[in-house]
Copies of this chain bind each other. A is one copy, B any other.
Amino acid sequence: MLSYTEENYLKALLKISFAHGDLGVGTNELATVLAVKPATANDMLKKLKEKELVDYEKYGKIRLTASGKKRGIDVIRKHRLWETFLFKKLEFSWDEVHEVAEQLEHIQSEKLVDKLDKFLDYPEFDPHGDPIPNKKGELKVQFKKTLADVAVGSSCKMVAVKDNSSSFLQYVVKVGLGINNEISVVSKQDYDALTVIKVNGVKSSVSQKFAENIFVVCNNCVVGKSCPKTKCEIK
């Protein structure tokens, strides 16, 4: 049985791995994500190594073992199922679900997770567009392309958000954006990449930082695979 804290370390390691491929994770990086000091993370990593949930050499990069990865995915599965429950069944808005799911993800009951999954009719994506791992731990490939990659004159579909903070999510709503919306890129400033987009006929300006936090696909893209079109409008 893993502690609340151990589960959070595994989840953080997994999320960092998703973000930057195969080249292991650093102690400081992990500590930053978990908002603890490197010394603290270092202590915990020793314990996780002892339990064979992570593997690394002293002063080397950290990687999850197969079992560590499975445990981490289970936590993410629970997190996203609970977010979906709060959003779909309890009328929470998409910027409110994350905080509560941070607590709910640590409830230990396999039956509860499976029943919740069934109750929600086996959802594939959470309210932020993130894929929900299934019972076996299989996870749809995460999205890679963002609104910042879309060429001027092209259009795309918003599929997820990268930043899950309540402030960003509320801003997204204010700009008139949401999951599955069609976005046209009207123009882009050379100097600072300030971008004019059109959503449902309404134009707005968004910053580079904003655009990088909106995951999109082009209309020919196959989610999780490369675009079959020879000249995809998205890099």
Contacts and interface: CB of A to CB of B under 8 A. Distances in A.
Nearest to A116: B90
Interface in A105-157: 107-109, 111-112, 115-116, 119
Chain A: interface secondary structure? helix
A29 to B, nearest CB: 29
A96 interface: yes
Given A100-B112, A112-B100, A119 B90 contact: yes
A91 B119 CA distance: 9
A18 interface: no
A47 B89 CA distance: 39
Interface in A81-108: 86, 89-92, 96, 99-100, 103-104, 107-108
B104 A92 contact: no
A92 B90 CA distance: 19
In this complex, the interface size class of chain A, counting residues with CB under 8 Å from chain B, is: 10 to 19
B107 A103 contact: yes
Nearest to A114: B90
A69 B112 CA distance: 30
A198 to B, nearest CB: 35
Interface of A: 86, 89-92, 96, 99-100, 103-104, 107-109, 111-112, 115-116, 119
Given A99-B109, A100-B109, A103-B109, 5 more contacts: A86-B112, A90-B112, A91-B115, A100-B111, A100-B112
7 residue pairs, one from A and one from B, having the closest CB atoms: A90-B115, A100-B109, A103-B107, A100-B112, A90-B119, A104-B107, A91-B115
